[in-house]
């Protein structure tokens, strides 16, 4: 494989070619790594992390009938990561007979996604809109929303997402402000988690957990360490772990085979690329000595 013996027609050695693999080959391999396990599941294990277990335990320990604030703070573009978390979170809440107050600080799609998920998972558990759950919808200016709800929710949300006045909704008549809220379950793909932590947890002391996209997860771990968040779900893996914990496998669990396979592939290419780099350097230094 060394020297001229390993040269191809383009004059590149094997080690050089290893470092400049055509991106179309990578695309094809990645695409195959996604399609194959979706068509033929491999059932690879997904170990549960302590942060996900803490998330589950925090929700599971809430007394029946507690009011949970459920911000759907994510855009439609991150649905593969955030939707499974929201679905699993709602299933867990409704199974525990917790009452859910949904809202969204993301205007683009957030309130519609909240409506769809609350209705579909609510109907799974025969829950009634306005009694067991409600969707407050979207209001502009997150800081005014988060702080204002501490005084009076109806000042910020005179009506719910469907336009019904809050004083006509049985659940909201019992929830005038944060004093009646037991817990916050955030699902977010943006800095809203920081604002919930810094504005609501710090000022009102409301306990909270967060399900966030994988990109955000490393930063959020610092809130776990400071006990500002009680639990954390990181990306599709976090959602799959939560699905395991609530014993209801769904989209995230089904996507984890592909996730693991692609990670193997990327690791393999990183190792091969580095190996090629060092071998080429060795080859060049040997040539220099000769």
Binding stretches for other proteins (CB under 8 A): 27, 30-31, 34-35, 38-39, 77-81, 107-109, 111, 137-140, 143, 147, 157-159, 161, 163, 194-195, 197-199, 201-203, 213-215, 217-218, 222, 225-228, 234-237, 251, 254-255, 258-259, 262-263, 266
Q: Which is nearer to other proteins, 183 or 195 (CB)?
A: 195
Q: Which is nearer to other proteins, 136 or 245 (CB)?
A: 136
Contact 257, 41 (CB under 8 A): yes
Q: Which is nearer to other proteins, 7 or 32 (CB)?
A: 32
Contact 148, 156 (CB under 8 A): yes
Q: What are phi and psi of 141, to 5 degrees?
A: 70, 85
Q: Which is nearer to other proteins, 89 or 234 (CB)?
A: 234
Q: What are phi and psi of 8, to 5 degrees?
A: -100, -175
Q: How far is the CB of 68 from other proteins (least distance, A)?
A: 21
DSSP-based three-state secondary structure for 4 = helix
Q: How far is the CB of 286 from other proteins (least distance, A)?
A: 30
Q: How far is the CB of 50 from other proteins (least distance, A)?
A: 12
Q: In this structure, what token pair is assigned to residue 35?
A: 């399609």
DSSP-based three-state secondary structure for 63 = coil
Q: Which is nearer to other proteins, 13 or 193 (CB)?
A: 193
- Per-residue CA distances from 190 to 4, 123, 203, 209, 215 (Å): 52, 29, 21, 15, 10
Q: How far is the CB of 225 from other proteins (least distance, A)?
A: 6
Write out 40-55 in H/E/C secondary structure.
CCCCCCCCCCHHHHHH
Q: How far is the CB of 20 from other proteins (least distance, A)?
A: 19
């Amino acid at each position: 494989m060394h020297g001229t013996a390993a040269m191809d027609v383009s004059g590149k050695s094997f080690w050089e070619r290893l470092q400049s693999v055509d991106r179309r080959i990578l695309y094809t391999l990645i695409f195959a790594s996604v399609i194959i396990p979706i068509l033929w599941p491999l059932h690879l294990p997904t170990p549960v992390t302590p942060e996900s277990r803490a998330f589950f335990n925090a929700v599971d320990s809430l007394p029946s009938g507690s009011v949970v604030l459920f911000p759907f703070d994510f855009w439609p573009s991150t649905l593969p990561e955030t939707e499974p978390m929201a679905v699993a979170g709602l299933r867990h809440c409704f199974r525990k007979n917790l009452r859910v107050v949904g809202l969204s600080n993301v205007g683009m799609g957030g309130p519609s996604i909240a409506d769809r998920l609350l209705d579909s998972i609510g109907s799974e558990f025969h829950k009634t809109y306005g009694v067991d759950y409600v969707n407050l919808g979207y209001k502009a200016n997150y800081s005014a929303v988060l702080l204002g709800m501490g005084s009076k929710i109806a000042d910020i949300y005179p009506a719910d997402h469907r336009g019904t006045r809050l004083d006509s909704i049985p659940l909201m008549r019992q929830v005038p402000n944060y004093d009646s809220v037991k817990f916050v379950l955030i699902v977010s793909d943006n800095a809203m988690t920081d604002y919930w932590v810094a504005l609501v947890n710090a000022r009102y002391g409301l306990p909270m957990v967060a399900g966030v996209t994988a990109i955000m997860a490393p930063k959020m771990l610092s809130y776990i360490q400071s006990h500002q968040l009680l639990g954390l779900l990181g990306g599709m893996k976090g959602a799959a772990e939560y699905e395991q914990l609530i014993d209801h496998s769904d989209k995230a669990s089904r996507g984890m085979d592909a996730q693991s396979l692609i990670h193997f592939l990327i690791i393999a290419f990183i190792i091969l690329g580095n190996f090629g780099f060092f071998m080429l350097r060795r080859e060049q230094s040997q040539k220099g000595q000769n």
